[in-house]
Chains A and B, each alone.
Chain A
Amino acid sequence: MQENLLETSILSLELLFSFDAELWDIIGVSFRVSMIAISIATLPAILIGFALAMVDFKGRWMVVALFNALMAVPTVVVGLTLYLLLSRSGPFGDLHLLFTQPAMIIGQVALAFPLLVCMSHSAFQSIDKRAWETARTLGANCCYAVITIMKEARFALLAAVLAGFGRIISEVGCSMMIGGNIMSYTRNIPTAIALETSKGMFAQGIALGLVLLILALLLNFTLASIRGKGQLV
């Protein structure tokens, strides 16, 4: 058993460093889909987080609670919901999005959005109100004042983006349900790991797992160094 594990691990490393076409295809799909999804979700989520932190309106607490609750929704439930919407019998069936990369992107946007809103809301809440007033009194219009506040909160916002990216690139439930795990198209790292493991083919699974592990380490080290820079002096 131990020898098999060792052999499998060595084989997985060989797959990785020999730039196995199939393996790197899967990695490419993963990064492409997740990068597009996080790019779409980031700005609107940050602006909503800003509004929730800075603008007093009736029912604000309900909106904040809603986003906090949405963060906790399991990925497979998000996948199921989108499946029902995008399937042929669903309201958006005519768009033929099911089992496509755009569908995966929609799913990952839905997963990342609440997290980005909640974390950016926290980031903006920690910014002194005087920052806004100082920007305004020195001549900034509302738009430029928002940009100024975003700059002041940049470390916390970057942490939110990295956390959101980390969540979506490693999720399997939603991607499996609405992506369909089609090779060279919708098979990403987590769905490939699930498939290969179910087939008893561990080498590729371990190789892809290593990629996710390295990515997780990179994201966390980056987050840690950002938090260090963002500390109060």
Chain B
Amino acid sequence: MGVELRANNLIKRYGARELFNIEELKVQEGDSLHLSGDNGVGKTTLMKILAGLDKPCSGEVAVTPNMKSKWSTRLHPKVVYLHQTPYIFSGTVAANLAYGLKLKGLANRQIKETVCHALAWARLEELADHSAHLLSGGEKQRLALARAWVLAPGLLFLDEPTANLDQQSVASVADLIDKMLEGGAAVMVSSHQKNPVTELCYRQLLLSEGQVTEFGHQREARYHA
């Protein structure tokens, strides 16, 4: 099921300093967006607000369809945010992959099957029973992507996903993100540099001086709904 996001009049301030004031931002099903901007302009803060991990000082973010129950404290189940350096829970690679699946109340057999598929998807099969903390940077990034992939997100926020990765790891990560786009997910990638992951993005956004400007499309849309 496709997910669409609309943000209106988003303002975020830290003390007297206004970080950004964004009139409108829409992300539609199947979109791929590259959010660029200098260090410290607020890319991470904006993405966290859009993902529900932070609150704006004013404005609203609406994700449709609204799959949150009224009294639940869960965030939208189809929106996932990945940190620049993903946090990996203590335990094995397989246990990390199963984390979100257990929260869905799936049967153990189903969780095991999905984890197997995810390990193959992320090319981490041989590391399933290894301590996740022992993975390399690239492997951790793939694990974090797989951890999100198993939840079938409709909207994925990737914060500088290729920072600190070597070329081979960047290519691996780009491949996985391409697969997620193929699967119909909308993806927003923040990066202040061009790389194979940002090359996948159709829409180009620039966050500068507190405003988000869309400055056109870099190529034909591949997966636009």
Contact = CB atoms under 8 A, between A and B. Distances in A.
A144 B53 contact: no
A136 interface: yes
A142 B131 contact: no
Interface in B78-108: 79-83, 85-87, 89-90, 99-100, 103-104
A3 to B, nearest CB: 56
Contacts of B203: none
B135 to A, nearest CB: 10
Given A133-B48, A136-B53, A233-B131, A141 B87 contact: no
A138 B103 contact: yes
A131 B89 contact: yes
B90 A151 contact: yes
A56 interface: no
B145 interface: no
Contacts of A148: 89
Interface in B95-139: 99-100, 103-104, 131, 133-134
A50 to B, nearest CB: 15
A134 B75 contact: no
Interface residues of A, number: 19
B169 to A, nearest CB: 20
A143 B89 CA distance: 17
Given A133-B48, A144-B103, A139 B86 contact: no
A171 interface: no
Nearest to B79: A137
Interface in B49-87: 51-53, 72-75, 77, 79-83, 85-87
Contacts of A144: 103
A139 B77 contact: yes
A25 interface: no
Contact of B147 (A138, A151, A152): A138
A128 B99 CA distance: 18
Contacts of B89: 131, 134, 148, 151-152
B73 A141 contact: yes
Interface of A: 128, 130-131, 133-144, 148, 151-152, 233
The 4 A-B pairs at the shortest CB distance, nearest first, are namely A130-B87, A138-B100, A139-B103, A142-B73
Interface of B: 48, 51-53, 72-75, 77, 79-83, 85-87, 89-90, 99-100, 103-104, 131, 133-134, 147-148, 151
Given A137-B75, A233-B134, 19 more contacts: A128-B87, A131-B87, A133-B83, A134-B83, A134-B87, A134-B89, A135-B99, A137-B52, A137-B53, A138-B80, A138-B103, A138-B147, A139-B75, A139-B77, A140-B103, A142-B73, A144-B103, A148-B89, A152-B90
26 contacts: A128-B87, A130-B83, A130-B87, A131-B87, A131-B89, A133-B48, A133-B81, A133-B83, A134-B83, A135-B99, A136-B53, A136-B75, A137-B51, A137-B79, A137-B81, A138-B148, A139-B77, A139-B104, A139-B151, A141-B72, A148-B89, A151-B90, A152-B89, A152-B90, A233-B131, A233-B133
